[in-house]
Amino acid sequence: MAVGFVTNTRITHGTPAALYAKGISRHIEYDVIAKNYGDDCTDIAKQLLSYPASNFKVMMGGGANFLKDKSRGGSREDGINIDLEWKKLGGRRKLLNNVRDLQAVTESDGKLLGIFAPSHFPIYVEEQIVGKKTVPRLVEMTEKAIGQLQYDEKGFFLMVEGGMIDVMEHTNQMHFAFGELYEFEEAIRKAREMTDPSETLIIVTADHGHALTMPGYLPVQESLFGSDIIKHFFGDEEITLEVPSIFFATGPGYRGGYRLIGDYIDKEEREQPHSALPSAIPVNSGHHGGEDVGLWADGPLSELFASTLENTEVAYIIKFLLCAKHLDYTFCNASALIETSTQDKSVE
């Protein structure tokens, strides 16, 4: 089975790294951090050179700084250039560094390692505003990845991460977060266009939510980024309060309280793409939430993901469907086991 992933975060970041790396901390993305945990701690980037990552057919995202030695403008101090060492692993392998490289990919190129940014990708909306495209977009990487993987006679597994949605919610910047969500949606749409729903299972989910809510009764003429203004009595005193339509529990959007002098809110500021929406507690980075996370599935056996599931069950079902070798019971042997059980009952 062909395996690959694409992300608009660093390829050593939490979600993509979970596909191939093990370690004491998600933060050991390169050698300088890893050595703080001991000499026997192998950084995540270096694990790209060993199994299973070395066998992946497609790996695309950002994070060049953690793959390159300082002599090449990177952050590594061990003298290892992960990208160049990866190319030496054998077989047909191709390094991709920019949009042109991605566009030029053909089926005959073999395994692909695309590193298109020093760290995470630039923000989608910002690039739209300035009219400058410095990296391939998530939908383009998804299209190329499926194009490379779909010819494997044993099928393929592809993980596509719109990881910048999370990054923008940490900063309470929902204009940017919605833009990243749109880009993720485009990648999903492309995946559906390129695959057959009768033979390809597509799962869309997240690893967590954020501590935000949508309170109040927003007037119909207001933007989603607006606020409801209410009058409230504390004893004999009437005060005016702002109830933001999108409200974070924590983050840099804190404004020192929501009691208004008069009815003034800077609506123009709220509509600016860079604006951080209000939070209740001032911290540099907003916190994740603890609510249930949605999961949507379409395709063969998508019914296995119905109802409420523990998060580890989701991973188990995926491994069951992929016929993971370390499981005693998988989709590949389920029919045989059921048939044997039926025959045993008939004998009885």
Q: Please enumerate, by residue number, every residue annotated as part of a binding site for Zn(2+).
A: 166, 170, 207-208, 288
CB 218 within 8 A of CB 244: no
User: Which amino acids are annotated as binding site for Mg(2+), given as ranges?
Assistant: 13, 15, 161
User: Which amino acids are annotated as binding site, given as ranges?
Assistant: 13, 15, 161, 166, 170, 207-208, 288
249 token code pair: 């529990």
130 token code pair: 């300035």
CB 104 within 8 A of CB 114: no
Nearest to 69 by CA among 88, 90, 46, 48: 46
Q: In which region does residue 216 sit, left (phi positive, over 0), alpha (psi from -120 to 50) or beta (all else)?
A: left
Rounded Cα–Cα distance for residues 343 and 348 (Å): 9
Nearest to 187 by CA among 8, 3, 4, 1: 8
Nearest to 4 by CA among 164, 180, 190, 161: 161
